[in-house]
Structures are given as C-alpha cells and as structure tokens.
Amino acid sequence: QVHLVESGGGLVQAGDSLRVSCANSGRTFSNYAMGWFRQAPGKEREFVASVSWSGVAKRYADSVKGRFTISRDSAKNTVYLQMNSLKPEDTAVYLCAAEGPAGWAYWGQGTQVTVSS
C-alpha cells in the first residue's frame, strides 16, 4: 500500500523559496512515477510537475517551468518540490500523487502553500 504524507508548506512572501516534501510510509514507491498537483480555492486541480520512476524524466507545467524543481530520493522514499521565486498565484494546496497503471492512483492529503504579495 502507498501512503503519502506531504509536509513543508507555509506562509511566505512573493519572491521567497519553499520546499515541500512527500514521504511514502507504505511500500516502496521506486517503481512509481510521482507527481505534484495543486488546487487553489474555487479552481480545478492542476498538474505542477512529475518525475519518472528512475528520476530521469521530468515534466513541468508552463506556469512553473524554470522556478520549480521536482526530485526524488528513493532511499528515503521521498519526493520533493523546490519552489523558487514564488508568486501569489502559486497559493494553493499542494498534493503529491503516485502513478499506477490506470493513472494517478494514490494521493496525499496536501499541504497549504500561501504566498503573500
């Protein structure tokens, strides 16, 4: 079973940096692609970034490309999202997910990131 727990969210100012983490306390997730999504109040959940099971292939939403970096540490069963040059429009609940055969099958509960102007 995959059990994902996000941490590291908080309140920061525009231009600041923040790193959120997603730890899997269940079975190893080394065979899963991992992703970060976000959901702002009143908006649809949107894709932010993903990393392949090997850690080599990475994808980013255009809105975060060049500012956010996704990485994974399989030894620690953890995936990270380093967020730099944060903007107020980055404010959202950030959720991590593990990709199963049928898509993003496992989700964490999310961590709140708030960026003040």
* Cβ neighbour number for residue 31 with a 10 Å cutoff: 12
Strand partners, 106: 98
Who contacts 96 (Cβ-Cβ below 8 Å, separation ≥6)?
4, 6, 22, 34, 35, 36, 37, 79, 81, 107, 108
Structure confidence at residue 32 (pLDDT):
86
62, exposed or middle or buried, with CB in 10 Å at 0-12, 13-18, 19+?
exposed
> Using one digit for the tens of pLDDT, what is the confidence trace for 21-72?
999 887 666 788 999 999 999 999 999 999 998 889 999 999 999 999 999 9
Structure confidence at residue 29 (pLDDT):
67
> Using one digit for the tens of pLDDT, what is the confidence trace for 105-116?
999 999 999 999
Return the higher-pLDDT residue of 28 and 75. 75
Structure confidence at residue 115 (pLDDT):
98
